[in-house]
Amino acid sequence: MLVSSSSHLLILFLVSFAVSVSSVSVRRGTPLDITFDQSDETPTYLWPLPAEYTSGNEALDVDPALKLTVAGNGGGSAVLRAGFDRYRGIVFKHTGLGLGFSFMRKLRERLVSSVSAYDVDTLNITVHSDNEELQFGVDESYTLLVPKAKDSSRVTIEANTVYGALRGLETFSQLCSFDYTTKKVKIYKAPWSIQDKPRFAYRGLLLDTSRHYLPITVIKQIIESMSYAKLNVLHWHIIDEESFPLEVPTYPDLWKGSYTQWERYTVEDAYEIVNFAKMRGINVMAEVDVPGHAESWGAGYPDLWPSPSCREPLDVSKNFTFDVISGILTDIRTIFPFELFHLGGDEVNTDCWRSTPHIKEWLQNHNMTARDAYQYFVLKAQEIAVSKNWSPVNWEETFNTFPSKLHPKTIVHNWLGPGVCPKVVAKGFRCIYSNQGVWYLDHLDVPWDEVYTAEPLEGIQKASEQELVIGGEVCMWAETVDTSDVQQTIWPRAAAAAERLWSQRDSSSKNVTVTALPRLQNFRCLLNKRGVPAAPVKNFYARRAPVGPGSCYEQ
């Protein structure tokens, strides 16, 4: 075959390039020459911070053809394989692209076949349990070991469950950094030894899809970004008084309460979201808020309203109301396997019950006040949820009004302010912390450091009571949020809460400007690189764009 002179030149160039790159690959310990390098003098740029870790001062090259080897009873998990493939795509986004690079890499490997071109070529993951059930309190601990140069070419992750392995993969991905000079992925500050586990079992984000509809593609993007910060519960506030977008087969007219016929979630959509989340180690907790916040239900079934002119709370006097609630919970129980289910119970204004003649009569016949009827409604809804093997979660108003009557399995969800969880756990109930003063993301004037320094265990001294605080969540209420601004409103402040919920308190409570701010700014840049439109960390008003030109790393 005849070869043109230009082809000869191309081959010579490729050979020269391959040899030059292979000569670079044997160098180790070169620091990353940017502001946020990984030298000994810089912080550990991992978010959230691991429970225990040590590091060194070497730099390792990572093979873009990184191999996965597995061991343990759960090593063959499809969840694990999918997670490895996702993270390999993130870590090596800049390498191996295009036929040219692939050809050059293979050519270089032939030329230097007797010399290892990379320090790390294998990721070995051991998962001890083959149980892939994702429930509250699943073991998310893991150990991650990165060797010294020449000691081994294998990074190891060991976990009891596949979900612990996923958390280890996220940490591994954050250790990897692309060097634009050598065009290689490097791990700096090796060797690493990381033993990690979460401080709290429940680390949530509430997403409101009633005030503004969010397409499932956007919900998936948010779930994906949650996994980067090791959050593990999506609290899906699907419906509210403004709209009812969810399909309920037993009561098919309920979603007539959606804004339009194009802003709805089918049963298949909900399944897809739950399964997508599970593959990332994230549970989905659905919420059906009763008896208030339910005006939209009556668009399809007007009998649920006390009257056409007085539309909420739901009519407490009719068996039909509880039949509908039971039908909804029966239908969606097959979709949402998570053992926690949110029943709302907040902001119940009972004026409609007191002013509607047939409900007034019902109250009199049952010797009830409107306050009694509120308790009756909440407890009846709890009974329905418990009968379907759910642990009910209720907003704190239920506890504030009738604490001694709540079902023993109740988890009280704080939101009104501080000091609630201490009262809740003193009564023996579990608590979720979401103090609106610091963890409501729709409060745009709350800066990152107030989110970060909030403490779910504040005011709780007894170890037995501290254990009843299962964790917390940040809440993204959607009155002023839709697809156009939801992610930059969530991030990066949600990450500040994520570290508070994952990392040990003593490791993340010192001078936060020194210990946390540089790392959070770096994490925000990591989110941006992964396609998440996180806003600058120090913007006074959350989600505001930068005010002028500048580096992501100098916000």
Contact 363, 373 (CB under 8 A): yes
Residue 333, C-beta contacts closer than 8 angstroms, at least 6 positions apart: 388, 389, 390
To 5 degrees, how large is the angle CA 37–CA 52–CA 430? 120
Count of alpha carbons within 13 angstroms of residue 111, beta-carbon side? 16
CB contact at 8 A, 281 and 274: no
Nearest to 61 by CA among 27, 12, 84: 27
Could you tell me if 436 and 471 are in contact, meaning their C-beta atoms sit under 8 angstroms apart?
no
What is the C-alpha end-to-end distance of the chain, expressed in Å?
57
Whether a cis peptide bond, with omega within 30° of 0, leads into 191 is yes
Burial class (CB in 10 A: 0-12, 13-18, 19+), 354: middle
Measured in degrees and rounded to the nearest 5, phi and psi for residue 377 equal: -65, -50
242 a catalytic residue? no
Burial 475-493 (b: 16+ CB within 10 A, else e): bbbbeebeeeebbbbbbbb
Q: Which residues contact 271 (CB under 8 A, 6 or more apart)?
A: 335
Nearest Cα residue to 199 out of 505, 484, 425, 545: 505
The three state secondary structure string of 239-257 is: CCCCCCCECCCCCCCHHHH
Q: For the sheet containing 391-395, what is the strand order?
A: 283-286, 233-237, 202-208, 469-476, 430-433, 411-413, 391-395, 340-342
Give the residue among 237, 218, 226 at the shortest CA–CA distance from 483: 218
CA–CA separation, 428 and 430 (whole Å): 7
Give, in order, the Cα–Cα distances in Å from 58 to each of 55, 147, 176, 195. Answer: 9, 10, 13, 20
Tell the residue number behind the tokens 């109301």, with chain if given. 321
Let me know the angle formed at the C-alpha of 427 by 422 and 431, rounded to the nearest 5 degrees.
55
Q: Which amino acid is at 457?
A: L
The C-alpha R_g of the chain, in whole angstroms, comes to: 27
Of the residues 133, 268, 347, 361, only one is catalytic, namely: 347
Residues with catalytic annotation? 347
